[in-house]
Amino acid sequence: MSNVLSIKDLHVKINQSHILHGVSFDVPNNKVTALLGRNGVGKSTTLKTIMGFYPGTGSISFKGSEILNGDTFKIAKSGIAYIPEDREIFSSLSVKENLALAARGKDHGDAYKFVHSLFPELDTRAQQRAGSLSGGQQQMVAIARALLNKNEILLVDEPTKGLAPKLVTEVADALAQVAHENTMLLVEQNLALVKRIAENVIVMDQGKVVYQGGPEVLHDEKWVHQMLGVGGK
């Protein structure tokens, strides 16, 4: 099984704080890998370092090429899509304009059809200012932006955080469909979603990887509570 992304001995310091302490893991091609852990253990920092937002030492290999400390725009163009935790859409622009800004190249007809099939509301609300959307609808825009381009891997950070239960289900259904054809590194606290789509699990604690393997450990409620601080259901 080939790995689209390999991280080796990654160390990151932010404002003199040592956040990542030798993180190492692989993301297999055509699989969903869940990156789990309690709040503050370095999950989001790991994704942001992959995207070039934070400098680090060690190695991040993408399709065999070193990208650690690379330019963010070059990393994105190379085929890594990032869906941030806080969505970071352009609130003053319309839904249509947000999507148009994300699309690289010219021919995106099929991609638009796909994202509108996932999220029909984005079609009906195309002219609506994105900042006036609900949190769940804004999350749809953030996911749709990443899907307009052909990417080798999706980095998805807390996609269901803060959403109403109905919208959690809608976003989870969309990600499950996306997972059929995309490699994904997913940071998520919703274990029901993780169990549904993840084929590999990485658990971090205090800036280090403490588990890398199959998702069967998520059915051990005692282990889940100990390592993640949440119930296992």
**Which structural domains are found in the chain, ordered by start?**
3-79+153-228 (3.40.50.300), 91-150 (no CATH)
The amino acid at residue 7 is I
Closest CA to 161 of 130, 185, 186, 136: 136
Q: Is residue 214 predicted with pLDDT exceeding 80?
A: yes
- pLDDT tens digits, 151-197: 999 999 999 998 888 888 888 999 999 998 899 999 999 999 999 99
Q: Is residue 233 predicted with pLDDT exceeding 70?
A: no
- Cα radius of gyration rounded to whole Å, the chain: 17
Q: Where are the alpha helices (DSSP H) in 95-208?
A: 95-102, 109-118, 120-124, 135-147, 165-179, 191-197
Q: What is the pTM of this model?
A: 0.92
Closest CA to 53 of 125, 148, 157, 141: 157
Mean pLDDT of the chain: 92
Burial class of residue 98 (count of CB atoms within 10 Å of its CB; 0-12, 13-18, 19+): buried
Give whole-number Cα distances, 207 to 14, 133, 187, in Å.
Answer: 12, 35, 14
**Structure-token match 């689209």, residue found:** 4
Looking at residue 17, what is its pLDDT?
95
Looking at residue 107, what is its pLDDT?
65
Q: Report, as an integer, the average pLDDT of 16-40.
A: 96
230 confidence band (pLDDT: 50, 70, 90): low
Q: Tell me how crowded residue 6 is: count the other CB atoms within 10 A of its CB.
A: 16
